[in-house]
A and B are shown apart, each in its own frame.
Chain A
Amino acid sequence: MTAYNTTELMICLAARYLEDGSTVVVGTGAPCAAAMLAQRVSAPGLMIMFEAGGVGAQLPTMPISVGDSRTFHRGLYAGSMAEIMEACSRGMVDYAFLGGAQIDPYGNLNSTVIGDHDHPKTRLPGSGGANDLASLCWRTMMIMPQDARRFVPRVDFVTTPGYLTGPGARERAGLPAGTGPHKVVTDLCVIGFDEETCRMRVERTHPGVTREAIAAATGFELIWPDDVPVSEAPTEEELRILRVEVDPYRYIIGRA
């Protein structure tokens, strides 16, 4: 069996959740790699969209920016940011696919500041389109490495909405009904969200990863169902396509 690093693992497993024929807006980096991989392995009709306006590109290589010319290479539509965001707002985009710096048990993301907003310890880039996409797309998928600094009981700043404070909170705030976090794919496990509490629930553990290791890498209690299956390891085919076609220069998979 071919060895793989944790970034390759996350990308391969996340790619399997994107259904053929669905629409997905992706951020740069691992989310984009996962969507490209899905398109080549299991979902040839996956429609990849970029927030700057590119739709339906046949991506020749990994874009460096979600607005560079690769994002509409051999595309079906070179539109605008408003058109993409308005398609999301109309309810026509199935998946938002994001990364993040910090996440809480309800899937709220922080990419704005570490520390106090007005006197930050560390300033991060901000929402970009993440808040918009997670507000408006039907399902939000996230890829992020799991450790107790990132998986925290409360994020320093809710940049991007997960389930906010719990059941019904999104709808009360005015976010479209039936939207919200779907899966978080980490380097240790796949996390879903409990329907009753809207809190994180472990759905799969990755090969060789113990429950204790996952608990140690999480700053809060995760819900554990009685039966948690083990993820199927990346296949030879997935790894080959990821390394040869999706990210030959190892921009993303070289970061593990």
Chain B
Amino acid sequence: MDTTEGGSGTLFVDPDADVARAWFRTKSRRLESKVTTVRDAVRDLVSDGAYVGVGGFGTNRIPTSLLHEIVRQGRRNLGVAGHTSTHDFQILAAGGCIDRCDVAYAVGLEARGLSKVGRRLFETGALQVTEWTNAALAWRYRAAAMGIPFIPARVMLGTDTLAKSAAVVITCPYTGIPLVALPALYPDVALIHVHRADAYGNCQIDGITIADEELARAAKRVIITCERLVHTDEIRAHPDRTRIPWYLVDAVIEVPFGGYPGNVAGEYFSDEEHLRAWMAADTDDASITAFVDRHIRATADFGEYLAVCGGLARLQALRAEELMSIPRQDGVQP
């Protein structure tokens, strides 16, 4: 295949499928309990300099407790996949944890606005940046999940997004059309929050899966936080509902409300007031650092963070907003 054109961005992660296979060969397939704590999982499985893939969608089903613990333990020089990375990116940026980013969408907080601390990382050159798109990152995970070094696609072509990526343009060997070759993305560790998991790491997700099935299969290590830890019998009763099977998973921690202040479908809505408090503090380095000190570094764990943010009463209000605020339609379209 001819390589006709390529992006000038840095490829942060080795796409070599045989190197990855050698790693996956050593991964345990035994049914053994992986239940641990947030503190131990981050201490043992997230090292300085690691490349991290975060599950969910910015403020939806994000693994907040793990992100906070990374800040608490002072991890440095992490790489991140900015696959609609919004509040998750804001946490890691505010914690001073990141030095490189494969960016499809970061800095933005969707309809809520922009993170200034995230923006400063890009504007001051503190971050190494390679551009991608959301589909490109999802498909890069898929290539890794398939055990192939790249996957062809028809996005990014002709744009500056391609020019600042680390992708190359190839010619289709069958039809002769130009295609973008997206390199496999094997994160060192994936952080994913799910609705239910058993002790072995079999995971159920209610609603959209975003790119989490691909991410869990691409990452060398996977840390799962779940709303509820369930008995394996519950998994075995509905094996079709297992989105992430145990052999992908290295650690499981039950963290109720673990996606707060984001939305977890069918559990609780996002805490817009608290997300606005983050934005209000996100004006300059001193202000956001003070906020992170108070909410994350000064709290021992995620339970204390939830208490600082209003505790059970606040969480019940968010549960009511998720479950009770919409009138039941009973077949009648609103």
- The stretch from B101-109, B247-255, B282-290 touching chain A is B101-109
- The stretch from A118-126, A183-191, A200-208 touching chain B is A118-126
Any chain A CB within 8 A of the CB of B154? yes
* Min distance, Cβ B179 to any Cβ of chain A, angstroms: 6
Contact A174 B157 (CB under 8 A): yes
Contact A158 B161 (CB under 8 A): yes
The docked-state distance in angstroms from the alpha carbon of A249 to that of B84 is: 25
Task: Specify the chain A residue showing the minimal Cβ separation from B153.
Answer: A89
B139 to chain A: which residues have CB within 8 Å?
A: 82, 85
Contact B133 A81 (CB under 8 A): no
One of B58, B111, B179, B210 near A81 (C-beta < 8 A) = B210
Which residues of B in the span 255-306 have a Cβ within 8 Å of any Cβ on A? 263-266, 269-270, 272
Contact B209 A157 (CB under 8 A): no
Any chain B CB within 8 A of the CB of A107? no
Task: Specify the chain B residue showing the minimal Cβ separation from A63.
Answer: B111
Contact B208 A78 (CB under 8 A): yes
Contact B161 A131 (CB under 8 A): yes
The docked-state distance in angstroms from the alpha carbon of A53 to that of B265 is: 13
Contact B123 A120 (CB under 8 A): yes
Given A80-B210, A117-B164, A127-B105: A52 touches B158 (CB 8 Å cut-off) = no
Contact B119 A123 (CB under 8 A): yes
Q: Is chain A's binding surface mostly helix, strand, loop or mixed? A: loop
Q: Which of A64, A160, A176 has the most CB of B within 10 A?
A: A64
Contact B177 A29 (CB under 8 A): no
Contact A29 B107 (CB under 8 A): no
Contact B122 A123 (CB under 8 A): yes
A174 to chain B: which residues have CB within 8 Å?
A: 154, 157-158, 169, 177-180
One of A128, A157, A245 near B134 (C-beta < 8 A) = A128
- Write out, one digit per residue, whether chain A residues 65-94 have a CB within 8 A of any chain B CB (1) or not (0): 111110111100011111001000100000
B84 to chain A: which residues have CB within 8 Å?
A: 52, 67, 128-129
A216 to chain B: which residues have CB within 8 Å?
A: none
Contact A67 B160 (CB under 8 A): no
The docked-state distance in angstroms from the alpha carbon of A117 to that of B164 is: 8
Which residues of B in the span 153-170 have a Cβ within 8 Å of any Cβ on A? 153-161, 164, 169
* Min distance, Cβ A198 to any Cβ of chain B, angstroms: 13
Contact surface of B with A, Cβ cutoff 8 Å:
56-60, 82, 84, 86, 103-108, 110-112, 114, 119, 122-123, 125, 129, 131-136, 138-139, 142, 153-161, 164, 169, 177-180, 207-214, 263-266, 269-270, 272, 322, 326-327, 329, 333-334
17 contacts between A and B (CB under 8 A): A53-B209, A65-B110, A67-B58, A67-B59, A68-B269, A69-B264, A80-B210, A81-B135, A82-B214, A89-B153, A120-B123, A124-B107, A127-B133, A129-B133, A131-B161, A157-B160, A161-B158
Q: What would 4 more interface pairs be, CB under 8 Å, given A128-B84, A158-B159, A173-B158?
A: A81-B211, A123-B119, A174-B179, A252-B111
